[in-house]
């Protein structure tokens, strides 16, 4: 269940399971493994409280999910904490459902917000990005921010230079700035165009449609 080994006695009525079976010589099948499929809900975060969050599905249906001290969080592929979950973000929640239908989250994954553009300025903790529409967005970096710069083996903030092309992903702050978990950059002329940067692949990749200047990815359902 959810990557953890459990005993047969931990199975409950109503659990959705997948069986792994091995055919025997007499034509019967022996069950060699049982995997519990945990329920999932996905949608837009409409409210976040100390012990719960609410998601709105595409059809407008809202689900309130319980959060506990053991709930884990991810921002894209990176480990995070509850502070990464903001109203307006897209999220997928995996959990356990009680007999009354209440869902308690074992894990919450939120999709990172993205900023793309040209580096206008850098400081000890910020990168100012000029988006395609000419607007300026402040990207805030921290010790946990990871960097990928074309041509640099172990990149750091100091390798991000003015006039470079940049894509940053992270959490959008209330003031419109972005708290970056990942920054990817390349010198002007060394990128293949908007949308070519695949942050989970470490640099330019197969061309894809150009992203909006400061977009919030939509839910995949």
Residue with tokens 């553009």: 117
Q: Please give the pLDDT value at position 208.
A: 33
Check if the beta carbon of residue 67 is closer than 8 Å to that of residue 105: yes
Q: What is the SS3 assignment for 132?
A: coil
Check if the beta carbon of residue 22 is closer than 8 Å to that of residue 30: yes
Check if the beta carbon of residue 41 is closer than 8 Å to that of residue 54: no
137 vs 140: CA distance, rounded Å: 10
Check if the beta carbon of residue 167 is closer than 8 Å to that of residue 184: yes
Of the CA atoms within 13 Å of residue 217, those in its CB half-sphere come to 19
* Strand (E) or helix (H) holding 219: none
Check if the beta carbon of residue 96 is closer than 8 Å to that of residue 110: no
Q: Please give the pLDDT value at position 216.
A: 42
Number of Cβ within 10 Å of residue 202's Cβ equals 13
pTM (two decimals): 0.60
* Pairing mode, strands 146-149 and 178-186: parallel
86 vs 89: CA distance, rounded Å: 6
Check if the beta carbon of residue 117 is closer than 8 Å to that of residue 137: yes
Q: Please give the pLDDT value at position 191.
A: 55
Q: Please give the pLDDT value at position 218.
A: 41
Q: Please give the pLDDT value at position 189.
A: 67
Splitting the chain (221 residues) into consecutive groups of 10 residues, what average pLDDT does each group show? 76 79 92 86 93 93 94 87 88 87 91 91 94 92 91 92 93 88 84 49 38 40 41
Q: What are phi and psi of 207, to 5 degrees?
A: -60, 145
Q: What share of the chain is helix, strand, coil (3-state, %, to 5)?
A: 5, 45, 50
């Amino acid at each position: 269940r959810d990557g953890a080994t459990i005993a047969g006695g931990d199975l409950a009525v109503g659990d959705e399971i997948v069986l792994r079976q091995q055919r025997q010589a007499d034509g019967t099948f022996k069950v060699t493994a049982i995997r519990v499929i945990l329920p999932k809900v996905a949608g837009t975060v409409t409210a976040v409280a100390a012990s719960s969050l609410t998601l709105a599905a595409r059809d407008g249906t809202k689900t309130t999910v319980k959060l506990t001290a053991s709930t884990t969080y991810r921002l894209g592929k990176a480990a995070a904490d509850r502070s990464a979950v903001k109203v307006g973000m897209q999220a997928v929640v995996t959990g356990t459902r009680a007999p009354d239908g209440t869902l308690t989250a074992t894990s919450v994954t939120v999709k990172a917000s993205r900023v793309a553009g040209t580096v206008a300025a850098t400081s000890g903790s910020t990168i100012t990005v000029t988006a395609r529409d000419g607007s300026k967005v402040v990207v805030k970096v921290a010790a946990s921010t990871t960097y990928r710069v074309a041509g640099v083996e172990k990149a750091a903030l100091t390798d991000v230079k003015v006039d470079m092309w940049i894509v940053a992903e992270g959490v959008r702050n209330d003031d419109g700035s972005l708290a970056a978990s990942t920054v990817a950059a390349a010198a002007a002329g060394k990128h293949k165009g908007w949308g070519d940067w695949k942050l989970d692949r470490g640099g330019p990749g197969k061309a894809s449609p150009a992203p909006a200047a400061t977009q919030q990815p939509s839910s995949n359902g």
